[in-house]
Structure 1
C-alpha cells in the first residue's frame, strides 16, 4: 500500500502544471484529482493559488481567446471551449470584449486561407465551405460575409 500523498506534493504538482501553461480552476482541479490527491486538499490548494493570483480564470480566458483568434476560430467555438473548461460566462464575455476582433474579417481571412475564390460554386461546394466555417465557430452572418465578399 502506497503512503498518502502530502499537501506539499499536491502544491508542487499544481505549480508544475501551472508553470507549463495557464489553467482554469476546474481544469487544474480535475488534473489534480486524477493524480489521486484528496478533493478537500485540492480545493484548499486552488483557493490559495487564486489568492496568490497564480490561478485566475479571467486571465486564462483572455489568453485562450487570443490563442483561438490567432488560430482563426470564431466566437461560438471560443465560447464553447471556455465553457467546457469551466470558465464563467462573465469572464468569457469580458475576454471576448477586450479582444474585440472584427469577426467578419476573421471569418473572411479563415475562408481565404482555406479556399480559392470562385463565384460559380454549386450547392454542394458552397455547403462544404459553410460547414467548414461553422466548424471553426463562426456565426451565419460571418459565414455569409466570407462567402459573398469578392477578392480585392
Structure 2
C-alpha cells in the first residue's frame, strides 16, 4: 500500500515512464514485487501512461532539442514510442530550429551583417559553423538545420 502512495506522489509532480517509476520505487527501498504491483496499479487506474509521458517529454524538449535527441531520450526510457506523428499541434523541427537560432544568434548575425570590412564573409561563415554544430549537438536533422539557417539568414538580410 505504501508503494502505491509513493507512486501517486511521484506521478503528481510530473509524468514518469513505467521503467522510470519502477526504478524510483526500487531506490526508495520497496521490494521488486511491491514496486511492480504499485506501477501496475497506477497504470490500471490511469495515473501512469507511457503515451502521456512521451507527449510530456516531447513538449518539454521540443523548443530546445531536435527529434533525434528526443527520440534517443524516449528510447532510454524504453516506452516503445516513436516521434512520427507524436504531437500534432507542435511545430515541425525546421521551425523549432529557426526559432532556436533566433533566440541564440540574432544579435551576433546582425553584428556580422552590419560589418562593412573584409572580415564580413569570414565572420558569417564562422557564425554559421558554430550554429550548425550547436543545432547538430541538440539532435536536429541536418536537412532541417540547413533550412532553418537559410530562412534565418534571409529574414535578417532583408532587415539589414
Q: TM-score, normalised by structure 2?
A: 0.79
**2:99 matched residue in structure 1:** 109
Root-mean-square deviation (Å): 1.9
Are the aligned partners of 2:51 and 2:81 in contact in 1 as well (CA < 8 Å)? no
Query: Shift in Å at residue 46 of structure 1?
Result: 1.0
Query: Could you list the per-position Cα deviations for residues 79-113 of structure 1 after superposition, in whole angstroms to 9, with x for gaps in the alignment?
Result: 111111221135x44524x3452211111111111
Are the aligned partners of 2:4 and 2:39 in contact in 1 as well (CA < 8 Å)? no
Instruction: Work out which of the residue numbers 130, 133, 137 in structure 1 matches 2:132.
Output: 130
Query: Shift in Å at residue 54 of structure 1?
Result: 0.6
Distance across 1 between alignment mates of 2:138 and 2:69: 6
The question of 1:81 aligning with 2:73 is answered: yes
Equivalenced residue count is 142
Query: Could you list the per-position Cα deviations for residues 45-68 of structure 1 after superposition, in whole angstroms to 9, with x for gaps in the alignment?
Result: 111111111110001111111122
**1:9 matched residue in structure 2:** 2
Q: Which runs of structure 1 show a deviation greater than 6 angstroms over 4 or more consecutive aligned residues?
A: none
**2:14 matched residue in structure 1:** 21
Distance across 2 between alignment mates of 1:44 and 1:94: 32
Query: Could you list the per-position Cα deviations for residues 33-54 of structure 1 after superposition, in whole angstroms to 9, with x for gaps in the alignment?
Result: 1112111121111111111111
Instruction: Work out which of the residue numbers 39, 42, 52 in structure 1 matches 2:45.
Output: 52
Q: Which one has the largest radius of gyration?
A: 2
SS in 1 for 2:3: helix
**2:54 matched residue in structure 1:** 61
The equivalences for 1:83-102 within 5 A come to 83-90=75-82, 92-96=83-87, 98-99=88-89, 101-102=91-92
Are the aligned partners of 2:19 and 2:77 in contact in 1 as well (CA < 8 Å)? yes
Q: TM-score, normalised by structure 1?
A: 0.82
Query: Shift in Å at residue 138 of structure 1?
Result: 0.6
Query: Shift in Å at residue 24 of structure 1?
Result: 0.5
